[in-house]
């Protein structure tokens, strides 16, 4: 599926506001998660391995959400009805996110879009992209908490039997760093001015 066929996916479009930090500040954040050029290469390799498995990965993640009412809640109307169209549309963008996470190096368009994803989780912009009437905000605590499942569950998909375990580990750690990096950026709109 090419990008412009994914409803609501707008990386690189003019409608996306500029990032709230400079590329220099972004460099420091990368250093604080120990993210290096080697990680960029490992992520590219990971992307090749994951591409054909994207649907299976999304099944695992969506299954995890589906198993917990207090998580399905965020895809639901305030009265409790999950919105299937919302789940489906976000799923396509989530698939593209796997590709984008592996499509290093991260440039300004990528960084800008992280702040857009942040706003879409936060009440600033949640629900607008898909024009739905779901609950207004995803509580930040679950976004941070998801660092664990979104990291840990990827390892089995990276381990495709064609790479030795050191290589799988290196790709896995590059993924782990990237997820922490992105969730860090996504916390921005939730935080008091000057505290982030």
Contact footprint for ligand HEM (CB under 6 A):
8-9, 65, 71, 74-75, 90, 93-94, 97, 117, 120-121, 126-127, 129-130, 138, 142-143, 146-147, 150, 179, 183
The residues pairing with 82 across neighbouring beta strands, listed in sequence order, are: 76
Q: Contact between 135 and its own copies (CB under 8 A)?
A: no
Residue 38 CB, shortest distance to ligand HEM, in Å, is: 22
| 32 near its own copies (CB under 8 A) | yes
Closest alpha carbon to 94 in 151, 55, 44, 64 = 55
Look up residue 128 and give its DSSP letter.
T
Cα–Cα distance measured from residue 124 to residue 117, given in angstroms and rounded to the nearest whole number:
11
Nearer to ligand HEM, 143 or 164 (CB): 143
Residue among 30, 9, 55 nearest 182 (CA): 30
8 binds, among ligand HEM, its own copies, none (CB under 5 to 8 A by kind): ligand HEM
Query: Cβ-count burial of 31 within 10 angstroms (0-12 exposed, 13-18 middle, 19+ buried)?
Result: exposed
> Could you tell me the smallest distance in angstroms from the CB atom of residue 143 to ligand HEM?
5
Q: Which is nearer to its own copies, 70 or 84 (CB)?
A: 70
Q: Which two tokens stand for residue 79?
A: 């009265």
Contacts of 35 (CB under 8 A, 6+ apart): 174, 177, 178, 181
CB of 61 to its own copies, least distance (A): 12
Pick one of its own copies, ligand HEM, none as the site partner of residue 70 (Cβ within 5 to 8 A by kind).
Answer: its own copies
Question: Using CA atoms, how far apart are residues 131 and 18, in angstroms rounded to an integer?
Answer: 23
The footprint of its own copies (CB under 8 A) covers 28-29, 31-34, 68, 70-71, 122-123, 137, 139-142, 144-149, 151-152, 173, 176-177, 180-181, 183-185, 187-188, 190-192, 194-196
């Amino acid at each position: 599926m090419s990008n412009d066929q994914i409803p609501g996916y707008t990386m690189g479009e003019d409608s996306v506001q500029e990032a709230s930090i400079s590329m220099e500040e972004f460099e420091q954040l990368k250093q604080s998660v120990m993210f290096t050029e080697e990680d960029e290469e490992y992520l590219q390799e990971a992307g090749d391995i994951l591409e054909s498995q994207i649907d299976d990965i999304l099944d695992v993640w969506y299954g995890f959400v589906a198993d917990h009412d207090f998580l399905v809640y965020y895809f639901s109307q305030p009265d409790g009805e999950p919105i299937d169209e919302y789940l489906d549309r976000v799923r396509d963008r989530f698939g593209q996110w796997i590709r984008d996470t592996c499509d290093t190096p991260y440039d300004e368009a990528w960084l800008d879009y992280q702040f857009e994803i942040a706003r879409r989780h936060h009440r600033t912009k949640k629900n607008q992209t898909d024009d739905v009437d779901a609950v207004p905000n995803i509580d930040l605590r679950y976004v941070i908490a998801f660092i664990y499942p979104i990291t840990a569950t990827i390892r089995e998909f990276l381990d495709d039997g064609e790479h030795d375990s050191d290589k799988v580990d290196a790709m896995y750690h590059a993924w782990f760093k990237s997820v922490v990096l992105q969730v860090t950026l996504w916390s921005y709109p939730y935080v008091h001015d000057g505290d982030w």
